[in-house]
Structure 1
Amino acid sequence: MRGFHLFALSSSVPLLASAQCPDYLDYAGEVHEPLSPGKYKLSYQRPPIECRTFKSQDLEDTITRMESVIKDPDLYRLFSNAYPNTLDTAIKWKGYAADNAEEELTFIITGDINAMWLRDSSNQMQSYLPLLDANSEPNSIASLYRGVINLQARYLLTSPYCNSFQPPAESNIPIAENPSASEDNVFPVYSNASVFECKYELDSLAAFLEVSANYYDATGDLDFFGKFKWVQAVEAILQVALDMMTPTYGDDGAVLKSPYTFSRLTRRATETLANDGLGNPTGNGTGLIRSAFRPSDDSTIFQLYIPANMMFSTYLASTAKIMGKLNAPNAASLASRMKSLSESLQDAIEAYGTFTHPTYGKIYAFEVDGFGGATIMDDANIPSLLSAPFLGYPVDRQTYKNTRALILGASNPYFMRGPVINAVGGPHQGPGMAWPMASIVRILTTDNDDEIKVQLGELLSSTAGLGLIHESVDSFNVTHWTRQWFSWANGLFGQMVLDLEERKPGILETSFQ
């Protein structure tokens, strides 16, 4: 089921007949008045109030307040369209577990696909960190967070190698069809009743830790983590991480059984793994964790994917602190394991996840194989090498500086240049298609005012007047873009603007006219 339908906060009874609400997939591709008064004349893109999927007064107050902070009328319109996009359109269902009336559940879609990605839903919630505080009310941002954490825990206990999941049975939302996955050959096996797609991505596991750490840091709500299934979900994650350190060959040269394999009948190389689902060989002794797929849902070339290991290390450390404060019987030992693994991963990244480039010197590799092979590039999706400081990973400053110089230029095979927008892209949409998400991350990871202003100007001018952040944009043709309804990228844009308000308030007084 595609499109935009609104469900009540505590049941699956529609608040308004779907026929009376616009299909946001169509709505987001059309121009709506009033247009912004600036030269770009950006469309108004928020759905009618009665059709918004979650209402937050804190959000509305923030949007109102920012009108006096953001001086450029087009930039303000893009912010006011983009920041509320997840709450306006993507909270598909919010309710409670059938077997526990206190266990909140939140089902969030990314956009035009009626499924919930662990990574995307975590990042969609991260956009509202500035609004998050301790609140037990069911209509609060905090409640949304708790619901996401609880539902993700359920998913991880059901199929910990999978990345994208079906609506919970309690929602009464029909399961989504995925023709691409209909003939997948995946081990471990999974059920279509609960899983939409089963691409093992290390960053999806890290995303659960991320949303957990974000909630705790903002609320201090320790009791929540001792309830329901959070501890068990972390145990499942640690088991996957341990298993996915398995190399291709044993000490005697015998091929070891991989804990995960994936193959798909497809015309796209990035949609399946080499060697009949095993992937390219991975060496032993690095201490890094394998990832079969990237956060773009594209397959890795070499499975020791460095950005995901960075992210996993970072949020293991954060959530180890939560685990260490719980009274669960095995919490202390789990916390110790988490802290130890976080530290060893950081050591492994610095030892095995770097590469000496003939032009840029020591850089972080995108992927390595443990045999000396490395993929030198970056991809727009988070986690990326560019986003490492944003994720909180303690980068070596010189190594990151060198890496950034390579990433943001022609030496990166997926850095797209042109008159419309200059940004990192990736194989998911292919050469020529720049991702605004990467421009946003570039702003979040620099203190250079001129660099920030250039990126803001390109973001403003690359929406084709529609006033939302696209998934990707042709760097030579502003009218050629993909996915207008991509709420994660829109929320990230709003989060970035609020970050600028704190770090660089003067930039928000800039005119882009």
Structure 2
Amino acid sequence: MSVNLLALLALLCGIAIAQCPDYLQYSQSWHYPPSSGPRNISYMRPEPACRTFNMSFFEDGSSDAIFYSMSDFDLWRTFLNSYPNTLDTAIRWKGYAADSPDEELTFIVTGDIDAMWLRDSSNQMQSYLPLLTANSSADSLASLFRGVINLQARYLLTSPYCNAFQPPVESGIAPAKNPSASQDVVFPTYDNASVFECKYELDSLASFLQISAQYYNATGDAAFFGKHHWLEAINHVYQVFNDLYFSSTYDVNGQVKQPDYSFTRVSDRATETLANDGLGNPFKGGIGLFRSAFRPSDDATIYQYLIPSNMMLARYLEAAAPIMVALNDSESAVTSVHMTQLATIIRQGIEEHGIVTVGGKRVYAYEVDGYGSANIMDDANIPSLLSAPFFGYLDANDDVYQNTRALLLSYGNPYFMQGPVISAIGGPHQGPGYAWPMASIVRILTSDNDTEISEQLALIIDSTNTLGLIHESINTFNSSDYTRPWFSWANGLFGQMILDLYARKRHILGQSFPQAQQS
């Protein structure tokens, strides 16, 4: 639904658009009616006239079967609040390209930050894949997907090394200010009018492949990809991959090479800038892996071969290759072959350089540099090592993955946080003592253990501080100390997890989840 249509609907309902609350403020307060469960969880959806896109999943009876499968009202309320959060609150603008009247564009904010991340927007839409069907209508869920893909293609054609972007000029929305990035020194340079922040994160490029493949697999709409700028963007991104494959810190003579990308920021946080005057720590080229200057958390990597992001890239190169075949031209067919070959090279690189031995067991490292150094940890943000089966890189029963999982969910992972409120993986983005519910959700999505799933579900509900929204991170000893009250991706992921449990572990949804006794 476009913003103009939303405003018209609001007027017809007798509600002036100015009366719609600022959701950032709204998300931090408790609202009637209570959930009727022991936690009395708040109702957090905006009024229908104030929602940014109408998905009738909860209004037309589509969710009734899930509701009747649940016996815990707190669990149901958290699902009701969280699953539609992106559609209710984060579709900032939907319209068409100025130079192409049938090119749909969708600008999605991440929540409390008024910008569109490639990673977040892909994952925000991924939450609704179970509801996605082929539909040419401009007010359909399929149209939202197409609009996100088209806008991401535009961003990547101009700034493929950047991670977060401003509203398209067609929206009439003024660019958001980013004080942290105001004095960044970045190569290649970019335009602040279209870029919100330019941290090079390999998973941002993989996210474009992800949403493309997911839309295609759900709808079979191959014709869409032959229109507008998608193919051009794919070829451009593929050229970036070619450039990156041959990049390294030093040339064959030992001289420092001109970097493909560099980044410096004035900050009192080491994770906000790159070492060595923006080059990052040295890395050895030609080992089948691709560097990532920053992690999915937007924190700087220590060693630039980030294994989870390389896993994700391999997975979605494979998944997007059939689209190229479906376009039915010889050049695209050749590119499809190259994409699958590149995925094979990355998988070999991970096997050769991304697996290390810890405590006598083979595990995946989080980061490596090609010189033999490895960082043993995991971060809550997806892609993570924990999430590798979730995005389809490997099977959850894989021996190396199971070894890695056991390590990550223990004190062997320096960013595994434990406490009475929630025990989960965190990361340096918020620091020690703050666990991320997102990691608990991923733990459920990658587990077949009923006890583990039930325990994690109870902790997630407890961690919302009676608000019934999924926050970014939580103080493991104080549920009222949390970050990012409005984090749409995490909310959608929680809903996606409930749909997954309904399909494969429905008996768990029928349980009650007593409130934990917190010290």
Which AA in structure 1 matches 2:135? N
TM-fit CA distance, 1:9: 5.7
% identical equivalent positions: 61
Matches within 5 A, 1:294-305: 294-305=295-306
TM-fit CA distance, 1:324: 1.5
Distance 2:2 2:467 in 1: 23
**Structure 2 counterpart of 1:159:** 159
Could you list the runs of 4 or more consecutive aligned residues of structure 1 that deviate by over 4 angstroms after TM superposition?
9-18
TM norm structure 1: 0.96
Distance 1:43 1:404 in 2: 34
Distance 2:30 2:379 in 1: 30
Contact 1:11 1:171 in 2 (8 A): no
TM-fit CA distance, 1:50: 0.3
**Structure 2 counterpart of 1:23:** 22
Which AA in structure 2 matches 1:22? P
Distance 1:31 1:38 in 2: 15
Distance 2:234 2:186 in 1: 23
Contact 2:10 2:49 in 1 (8 A): no
Q: Deviations over 1:398-428 (max 9, x none)?
A: 1000000010011100000011100000000
Contact 1:320 1:339 in 2 (8 A): yes
Distance 1:236 1:442 in 2: 35
Q: Deviations over 1:70-94 (max 9, x none)?
A: 2210000000000010000000001
**Structure 2 counterpart of 1:205:** 205
Contact 2:312 2:393 in 1 (8 A): yes
Contact 2:2 2:94 in 1 (8 A): no
Residue 69 of structure 2 aligns to a residue whose secondary structure is coil
Contact 1:417 1:423 in 2 (8 A): yes
Contact 2:157 2:233 in 1 (8 A): yes
Distance 1:261 1:368 in 2: 19
Is the counterpart of residue 168 in structure 1 residue 164 in structure 2? no
Contact 1:7 1:14 in 2 (8 A): no
Q: Deviations over 1:264-318 (max 9, x none)?
A: 0110000000000000000133110000000000000000000000000000001
TM norm structure 2: 0.95
Larger displacement relative to structure 2 (230-239 or 324-333): 324-333
Q: Cα–Cα, structure 1 residues 252 and 14, in superposed 2: closer, same or farther, change >3 Å?
A: farther
Residue 130 of structure 2 aligns to a residue whose secondary structure is helix
Contact 1:6 1:51 in 2 (8 A): no
Distance 1:14 1:231 in 2: 39
Which AA in structure 2 matches 1:200? Y
Is the counterpart of residue 367 in structure 1 residue 363 in structure 2? no
TM-fit CA distance, 1:328: 4.6
Contact 1:11 1:95 in 2 (8 A): no
Distance 1:310 1:421 in 2: 28
Distance 1:182 1:12 in 2: 37
Which AA in structure 1 matches 2:422? I
**Structure 1 counterpart of 2:517:** none
Contact 2:66 2:502 in 1 (8 A): no
Q: Cα–Cα, structure 1 residues 152 and 14, in superposed 2: closer, same or farther, change >3 Å?
A: farther
Distance 1:62 1:393 in 2: 31
**Structure 2 counterpart of 1:407:** 408
Matches within 5 A, 1:33-432: 33-60=32-59, 61-245=61-245, 246-328=247-329, 330-358=331-359, 361-394=361-394, 397-432=398-433
Residue 256 of structure 1 aligns to a residue whose secondary structure is coil
Distance 1:13 1:503 in 2: 39
Distance 1:62 1:444 in 2: 22
Kindly tell me the number of residue pairs found equivalent between the two proteins: 508
Contact 1:226 1:328 in 2 (8 A): no
Q: Cα–Cα, structure 1 residues 422 and 257, in superposed 2: closer, same or farther, change >3 Å?
A: same
TM-fit CA distance, 1:244: 2.0
Distance 1:147 1:428 in 2: 30
Which AA in structure 2 matches 1:229? H
**Alignment RMSD (CA, Å):** 1.7
Matches within 5 A, 1:460-479: 460-479=461-480
Contact 2:6 2:49 in 1 (8 A): no
Residue 288 of structure 1 aligns to a residue whose secondary structure is coil
Residue 296 of structure 2 aligns to a residue whose secondary structure is coil
